[in-house]
């Protein structure tokens, strides 16, 4: 099987559209969380993407054919391709895998409003193609002329991780020579947020917006919704070396599992998530002791963080340095695995471990990273877990 490396990174986040700026913010402990008022809803903490000019990247005509989530994906993909440089490949050998949970949520909301207020004839013909969960990957492939394998994992909040894992396997088994992989989400709209509020999943403002998301902290009471996108360029190792590409890391392990249990709650014993972690370790041929850092999925919910901590213990990672960066950039749902993979790569790009923000009194038995600290870790891991019991883990190697 062929070896797979990462040669390009692109991001759209609450900290802006620059990977170096994203790493700067994380390592400095800054927060992108702010108070947000949506129509008919109470004030909530959230992370929105700052306004930026996408027309220079996508073009005015294409923007009119995209939901906000497609725009995010297209811009992040363009940045990742620019970062990677000329791949020198036919479009048939380059594909894309972009995960998403809610698809074009704003498009669907607009169609609902048009139907109710003006009738069926005023619903846009773009409603269906832009509202589908595959709209971000369709935008990326169309914009960048990618004719290779394509996929739109919809495994809820594990979708970004699974998109990277799926792309890794396409190259590994020779189905493609390069892939754009990641996730995108733009679901901060009233109906979606009302649903999460009804579930009791959204963090309160009891401690202020910037401190609302508190992974692994005893006072956590919910997650902070965010929007954005992360895209990585994955490439076959020998091809990347031959063209003199800058290599951020090698992907050496990917594991999946399913709790097959509750609609929303994770396996509280940690057994389900541990299976994905152990599968990734087996895929990489590594013992748990080889992992120098884990970027945890931990969303700041009472049950979820506790279950993940138990999973790390079951997988032999209880002593490994762990942090969740969601306390700073929020939870981007289907984009989380991609954005957090980029956060994890700060371990190699900056030789520092990202901190676990807003951690005052932990209630789990883990080696939590409280402040950014130097690292020479050779192997690092990123985890992703989603509603429906979807579990995934990725392992990256320093080059």
Catalytic residues: 157, 297, 331
Give the integer Cα–Cα distance in Å for 290 and 1. 22
Per-residue CA distances from 229 to 17, 80, 291, 359 (Å): 9, 11, 26, 26
Beta 321-323 vs 291-295: how paired, if at all? parallel
Per-residue CA distances from 6 to 33, 167, 196, 244 (Å): 29, 11, 34, 13
**Residue 52 near residue 69 (C-beta atoms within 8 A):** no
Beta 249-258 vs 4-12: how paired, if at all? antiparallel
DSSP letters spanning 78-144: HHHHHHH------GGGEEEEEE-SS-SHHHHHHHHHHHHHH-GGGS-TTHHHHHSTTHHHHHHHHHH
Summarize the chain as % helix, strand, coil (round to 5): 40, 25, 40
Measured N-to-C along each axis, helices 336-344 and 159-172 cross at an angle, to the nearest 10 degrees, of 70
Give the integer Cα–Cα distance in Å for 293 and 395. 10
**Residue 347 near residue 292 (C-beta atoms within 8 A):** yes
Annotate 255-289 with b (16+ C-beta within 10 A) or e (fewer): bbbbbeeeebebbeebebbbbbbbbbbebbebebe
Closest CA to 254 of 153, 331, 141: 153
Which residues are registered as beta bridge partners of 209?
Answer: none
């Amino acid at each position: 099987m062929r070896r797979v490396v990462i040669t390009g990174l692109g991001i759209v986040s609450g900290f802006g559209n620059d990977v170096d700026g994203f790493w700067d913010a994380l390592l400095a402990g800054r927060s992108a969380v702010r108070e947000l008022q949506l129509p008919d809803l109470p004030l909530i903490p959230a992370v929105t993407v700052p306004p930026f000019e996408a027309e220079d990247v996508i073009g005015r005509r294409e923007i009119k054919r995209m939901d906000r989530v497609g725009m995010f994906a297209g811009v992040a993909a363009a940045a990742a391709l620019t970062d990677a440089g000329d791949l020198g490949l036919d479009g048939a050998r380059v594909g894309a895998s972009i995960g998403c949970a809610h698809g074009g949520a704003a498009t669907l909301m607009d169609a609902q409003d048009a139907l109710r207020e003006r009738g069926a004839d005023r619903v846009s013909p773009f409603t269906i193609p832009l509202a589908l969960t595959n709209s971000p990957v369709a935008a990326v492939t169309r914009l960048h002329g990618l004719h290779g394998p394509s996929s739109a994992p919809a495994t809820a909040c594990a979708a970004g991780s699974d998109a990277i894992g799926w792309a890794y396997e396409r190259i590994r088994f020779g189905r493609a020579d390069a892939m754009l992989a990641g996730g995108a989400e733009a679901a901060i709209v009233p109906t979606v947020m009302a649903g999460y509020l009804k579930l009791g999943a959204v963090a309160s403002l009891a401690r202020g917006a910037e401190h609302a998301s508190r992974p692994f902290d005893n006072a956590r009471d919910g997650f902070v919704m965010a929007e954005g996108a992360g895209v990585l360029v994955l490439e076959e190792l020998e091809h990347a070396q031959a063209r003199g590409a800058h290599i951020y890391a090698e992907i050496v392990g990917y594991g999946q599992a399913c709790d097959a249990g509750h609609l929303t709650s994770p396996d509280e014993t940690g057994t389900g998530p541990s299976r994905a972690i152990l599968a990734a370790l087996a895929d990489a041929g590594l013992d748990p002791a080889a992992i120098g850092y884990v970027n945890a999925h931990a969303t700041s919910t009472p049950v979820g963080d506790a279950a993940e901590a138990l999973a790390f213990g079951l997988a032999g990672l209880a002593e490994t340095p762990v942090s969740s960066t969601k306390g700073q950039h929020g939870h981007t749902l289907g984009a989380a695995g991609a954005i957090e993979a980029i956060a994890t790569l700060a371990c190699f790009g900056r030789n520092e471990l990202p901190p676990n923000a807003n951690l005052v009194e932990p209630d789990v038995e883990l080696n939590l990273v409280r402040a950014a600290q130097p690292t020479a870790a050779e192997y690092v891991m990123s985890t992703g877990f989603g509603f429906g019991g979807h579990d995934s883990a990725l392992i990256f190697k320093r080059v």
